[in-house]
Amino acid sequence: MVMWTRRSASLSHWLATRDRPAPADGGAGARSGRAASLVPAASISGRALAVIIAIMTFLGSLTVGAVDLVRTAAEDWTASIVREATIQVRPVSGRDLAADVRRATEIAVRFPGVADVSPYTAEETRRMLEPWLGTSLGAEDLPIPRLIVVKLTDDRRTDMTAFRNALAAEVPSASLDDHRQWFDRLRAMARAVIVVGLTIVSLMVATMALSVVFATRAAVETNRPVVEVLHFVGARDGFIATEFQRHFLWLALKGSAIGGLMALAAILVSGFVAARWRATAGGDQIEALFGSFSLGSTGYAGIVALVLLVTAVAAATSRWTVMRTLGAID
Amino acid sequence: MVRFENVGLRYGLGPEVLRDLTFGIDPHSFQFLTGPSGAGKTSLLKLLFLSLRPTRGLVTVFDHDTARLSKDELSVLRRRIGIVFQDFRLLDHLTTYENVALPLRVMGKDEASYRSEVVDLLDWVGLGDRIDAYPPILSGGEKQRAAIARAVIVRPEMLLADEPTGNVDPPLAKRLLRLFVELNRTGTAVLIATHDLSLLDQVEARHLIIRDGSVAILDPRHGEDGGW
């Protein structure tokens, strides 16, 4: 105290030797070192919010992974379907079925854009129907159509209409199925899955944003005395909002990164389990439907994008909420 | 510097707590604001500190009509005013150094540019060895000095102090008053709100006496120049 009394006279010297700082500074200058947070971290219910964000990001990432899996599988199915067509030759009374099959095969082989033609023999057709008809019934006694599998080099170079007309002109009992109907159905299904997935992810992000709104409002209310002091020392609302935003940005980054990593781990474990089951009947079905059950690069990119999106939305939401709350305080 | 013209203030639909205030605060001036409890001192300080807007009349601060300023413009204007609260209003989670440096940080200054300045000021107000201490462990007098240091660190053009000696013993009150006088000599206009009559006798300064929402001005150097 004595020291202070002696030095109080020096205050005038301190004041006289220093320039008055410019008051209209923008309040966003760089600082050296790590300044203490103006909003006490303990005053924000951070752990609960980080857990909510982690769970939302985990579920969202699984959805993104599932959408990517279905999209990739649908693309694979589509690619194999559009590279194939099937000629069906029906048995018609008065016509030689074997001759019609030969003639249709010749037309197909000569047609531009056709890479390979494989007619099913009578024996192959019988074996194909064996699971349904059994071995006792003679397939040759039934009017069963014969199939010719046509592999296309590139579906864009094959004029399917001309192909269909050429067949109809010489083999009236033949019809060409270019699998367009299946292709359209698959494409519609894949689109529906993507739309549903994106809707689910959007709802999850919206729920997370609402959680951030409530947490931010509570944080501003809890820190009302801090906000008042910051206003008294000349802080603009934007400066105060940045202080809160910094907290929520870090919380969201932590939560979303944990959620994203957990989802990646879950997908990797699922792929590993699916690989172990590959030899079983169920595993074969899964592989037939979803391929190797592994995420492609777009899936990984989607999860990383979701983590960044969640972080950005949380930061922007907290800033918007602080600005609105401060506006209401005034 | 500050002009009040026929200013009135009411809270919500209640009665006017301040009525027809007309006075000014000149640059480099020193004045006391005094009056009984509940007379409206705190409300008048809030108007001076741009924390409230008048319900009628004109308040001009640094040639700006406060009614026309946006919230952000008021914040920037507030940086030219230092305020010392009776309850200090230090942030408990920041050290003494960080509390005093707060106005500079809010202005966006680089910490390297003000660190020595803040340390020097803390040293000069006798808190050199309490730089890293947190407010909850400071004594009342230390908190008061930290609050004053925070108010003067930006060399405000006007300093407002609300009962700055309300929580300290008479010797410390005397020292704090000397600090304000020093500050005034370097060009800062000072207004001290107090009902400590012993404090009023120690400095020859203008008195703004508030009673029942109206202000009278008593200047010991020139006699009374205003009335209720």
Are B112 and A226 within 8 A, CB to CB? no
Which residue carries 């000696």 as its tokens?
B165
User: Roughly what angle, to the nearest 10 degrees, separates helices B140-152 and B170-185?
Assistant: 10
Of B107, B121, B182, the CB nearest to A27: B107
User: Roughly what angle, to the nearest 10 degrees, separates helices A46-82 and A237-276?
Assistant: 50
Are A27 and B150 within 8 A, CB to CB? no
- Residue B203's closest CA among B213, B194, B212? B194
pLDDT surpassing 50 at residue B179: yes
Residue B50 CA to residue B74 CA, distance in Å, equals: 7
Are A234 and B49 within 8 A, CB to CB? no
| Per-residue CA distances from B166 to A142, B44, B113, B169 (Å) | 111, 18, 34, 8
Which residue carries 């820190």 as its tokens?
A223
Domains contained in chain B, CATH given: 1-80+156-228 (3.40.50.300), 90-155 (no CATH)
Name the residue ranges covered by the structural domains of chain A: 43-78+184-329, 91-172
Residue B178 CA to residue B175 CA, distance in Å, equals: 5
- Residue B168's closest CA among B185, B191, B146? B146
Residue A271 CA to residue A285 CA, distance in Å, equals: 14
Q: What is the mean pLDDT of residues B125-152?
A: 90
Residue A223 CA to residue A207 CA, distance in Å, equals: 24
- Residue B26's closest CA among B55, B57, B3? B3
Contact list, A9 vs chain B (CB under 8 Å): 182
Residue A185 CA to residue A191 CA, distance in Å, equals: 10
Angle (nearest 5°) at CA A234 between A232 and A239: 115
Residue A184 CA to residue A197 CA, distance in Å, equals: 20
Instruction: Return the pLDDT at A98.
Output: 85
Instruction: Return the pLDDT at A291.
Output: 63
**Nearest residue of A to residue B124, measured between CA atoms:** A7
Contact between residue B156 and residue B82 where contact means Cβ atoms under 8 Å apart = yes
Residue A22 CA to residue A328 CA, distance in Å, equals: 29
Q: Which one of A1, A11, A247, A323 would you mutate to disrupt binding with B, by most B Cβ within 10 Å of its Cβ? A: A11
Instruction: Return the pLDDT at A20.
Output: 60
Cβ count within 10 A of residue A209: 18
Residue A220 CA to residue B12 CA, distance in Å, equals: 24
**Nearest residue of A to residue B97, measured between CA atoms:** A36
Which residue carries 């074969």 as its tokens?
A284
Are B186 and A27 within 8 A, CB to CB? no
Question: Which value does ipTM take for this structure?
Answer: 0.87
- Residue B75's closest CA among A68, A326, A201, A121? A326
Q: What is the mean pLDDT of residues B119-148?
A: 90
Please identify every stretch of chain A with a pLDDT value under 70, giving residue numbers as ranges. Answer: 1-34, 43, 45, 137-140, 154-157, 278-293, 329-330
DSSP-derived secondary structure letter, B46 = H
- Residue B88's closest CA among B160, B169, B143, B139? B143
Q: Which secondary structure element, helix H or strand E, spans residue B219, and what is its range?
A: strand B214-219
Instruction: Return the pLDDT at A156.
Output: 60
**Nearest residue of A to residue B183, measured between CA atoms:** A12
Contact list, A238 vs chain B (CB under 8 Å): 72
Instruction: Return the pLDDT at B223.
Output: 57
Does pTM surpass 0.80? no
Are B76 and A236 within 8 A, CB to CB? yes
Counted across chains A and B, CB pairs separated by less than 8 A come out at 142
B41-92 pLDDT tens trace? 888 998 998 888 899 999 999 989 988 888 888 888 999 999 998 888 999 9
Q: What is the 3-state secondary structure (H, E, C) of A72-92?
A: HHHHHHHHHHHCEEEEEECCC
Contact between residue B224 and residue B216 where contact means Cβ atoms under 8 Å apart = yes
Read off the amino acid at residue B47: L
- Residue B30's closest CA among B211, B182, B228, B173? B182
**Nearest residue of B to residue A3, measured between CA atoms:** B126
Are A21 and B110 within 8 A, CB to CB? no
The full DSSP string for chain B is -EEEEEEEEESTTS-EEEEEEEEEE-TT-EEEEE--TTSSHHHHHHHHTTSS--SEEEEEETTEEGGG--HHHHHHHHTTEEEE-TT----TTS-HHHHHHHHHHHTT--HHHHHHHHHHHHHHTT-GGGTT--GGGS-HHHHHHHHHHHHHTT--SEEEEESTTTTS-HHHHHHHHHHHHHHHHTT-EEEEE---HHHHTTS--EEEEEETTEEEEEETTTEE----
Confidence band for B222, pLDDT divided at 50, 70 and 90:
low
Exposure of A135 in the CB half-sphere (CA atoms within 13 A): 0
Contact between residue B94 and residue A233 where contact means Cβ atoms under 8 Å apart = no
Instruction: Return the pLDDT at B227.
Output: 44
Instruction: Return the pLDDT at A265.
Output: 92
